[in-house]
Amino acid sequence: MEASWKFERKRRSQKSRDPMQASFFTNASIDEDAQALIRELIQNSLDAKANPASQEPVRVRLSIGKHEPESGVMRRYIPEKAWKHFSAEDNGLEAPPCPSDPCRFLVYEDFNTCGLIGDEKVNDEQPGNSFYYFMRAEGQSGKQDGVRGRHGIGKYVVPKASGIRTFIAVTVRSTDQRCLIAGQSVLKSHHVDGVAYTPDAWWGVFDEDEGGDDYFPMPVESEALFNQIVENFGLARDRKKTGLSLIMPYVQEDISVKTLSKYVVNEYFWPILNGQLLVEVAEV
């Protein structure tokens, strides 16, 4: 079964909701989205080290690439149906790109980490289930007291880096070596063709009930899709390297190799000097 986008129609019983997480990253100590991105993601990678007793460092790779519209690559991931939502007037995007624009993309990958572990079918809070907390929860964190980043809002830096508030996650899990692939978009409540939609959208496969009134988004397990994503976005991951890869399309212009490198040094020079962290920043 191929991955597809599903934007959820707003039911009459639902409140109109505009995600508020962006407000956490507008203070004076985080002056650019790139800084928030580096601070939150590397923090999560360090916390997710697969073997805390190992002397091997957590490895992080950040890469920036571009797809021209005539290549047709992005049509594999963002079809015309999805662009209707990304171009909706009330979706909260100030100056969204369009299909005819080049796609600058950012890839964040960590290695020697656990990946998103736990039962991916769970739809309620479950201790230790990082897949649930990253992909299904908002404002919740599975981290314990004393661990960095317990507010559950840090992951918003991922869609916020994208000009269409979208990301694709590819994770190889240390617990079972399975590779799961899923995507999300977080807009505002909006309208397409006169129909009201909630902010959240999923890219994956869907377990629908018999009446078609409800569905449950699920990640894809496909070697062919994994290989396609690796090729299209220059991933360094293979199916034996556990961890998480995040692809953010249509990234903002202020996210560059220079700014990413600056904030890596500013935020994490001590773990790097201590040999706990190894970071590569490159263009592909």
Q: What is the pLDDT of residues 101-148, one digit of tens each?
A: 999 999 999 999 999 999 999 989 999 999 999 999 876 565 554 444
Per-residue pLDDT reduced to its tens digit, 41-56: 999 999 999 999 999 9
Query: What pLDDT does 32 receive?
Result: 74
pLDDT for 210 equals: 66
Q: What is the pLDDT of residue 11?
A: 84
Question: Distance from first CA to last CA of the chain, Å, rounded?
Answer: 30
For residues 59 and 278, the answer to whether their CB atoms sit within 8 Å is yes
* pLDDT surpassing 90 at residue 245: yes
Residue 280 clears pLDDT 50, i.e. is over it: yes
Would the pTM count as exceeding 0.75? yes
Distance CA 42, CA 37 (A): 8
Q: What is the pLDDT of residue 82?
A: 97
Tell me the C-alpha distance between 221 and 204, whole Å. 10
What pLDDT does residue 252 have? 83
The confidence score (pLDDT) of residue 198 equals 93
| Ranges 24-28, 74-78, 104-108, 182-186: which has the least confidence | 24-28
| Mean per-residue pLDDT, 161-167 | 96
- pLDDT value at 30 more than 60: no
Which among 129, 78, 128, 117 has a CA at the least distance from the CA of 100? 78
Average model confidence (pLDDT) for the chain? Answer: 89
Q: Report d(CA 272, CA 209) in Å as an integer.
A: 49
Q: Which one is predicted more confidently, 216 or 139?
A: 216
Query: Regarding predicted confidence, which is higher, 12 or 164?
Result: 164
Inform me whether the pLDDT recorded for 64 exceeds 80.
yes
